[in-house]
Amino acid sequence: SCTHRHLGRIEMADQMQGVKSLSSLPFVDTTRIGVHGWSFGGFMTTNLMLSHPEVFKVGVAGGPVLDWKYYEAMYGERYMGTPENNPEGYKEASLLNKAKNLKGRLQIIIGYNDPVCVPQHSLAFLRACEDAGTQPDFFTYPGQGHNMMGKDMIHLHERITRYFEDYLK
């Protein structure tokens, strides 16, 4: 497939075509575009925020894959190969290298006990942002895994909604 060994490149171009189409509509305010996704969608949200900071004002990335070398082998290696046999693909897809590009408001949300996108993803990204002088927001759900359950799911959706209401005005 066109994404094999280069996750994020083609998918991001596809999303930008969607933005271009939306931007042609008279009721779309192109100064107030936000993006949200979870897991791979969290990777895409963060990637879009960092690769197109002039377009996206606000993003909420849940359980994001921020560096594919930390991701589970079953999914990551199926699409990326290994870090040893695809070092350029892993380097290109790592969002740690793009932390300096953050301009808008980005909220990273994780389950602290996530066995899929382990906290190391987010902590490494936060370190890269600190080193670059950028300011993402971070929230964690102690005891939760990759997907929120129970009352935390309600809290999560309230948090996402509030974030967009607060910063996408």
Q: Give CA separation, 64 vs 22, 26, 94, 140, 144, in Å.
A: 25, 32, 12, 12, 14
Neighbours of 11 (CB within 10 A): 17
Confidence of residue 2 (pLDDT cuts 50, 70, 90): confident
Please give the structure tokens belonging to residue 62: 């849940």
Q: SS3 string of 5-18?
A: CCCCHHHHHHHHHH
pLDDT over 80 (residue 73): no
- Give the rounded percent of residues in the chain with a pLDDT score beyond 70: 100
Q: What is the pLDDT of residue 72?
A: 78
Structure confidence at residue 71 as a pLDDT band (50, 70, 90) = confident
- Residue 74: pLDDT band by 50, 70, 90 thresholds? confident
pLDDT for 98 equals 97
- Residues constituting the chain: 169
- The catalytic residue positions are 39, 114, 146
Q: Which residue has the higher pLDDT, 75 or 168?
A: 168
**pTM of the entire predicted model:** 0.95
Q: What is the pLDDT of residue 155?
A: 97
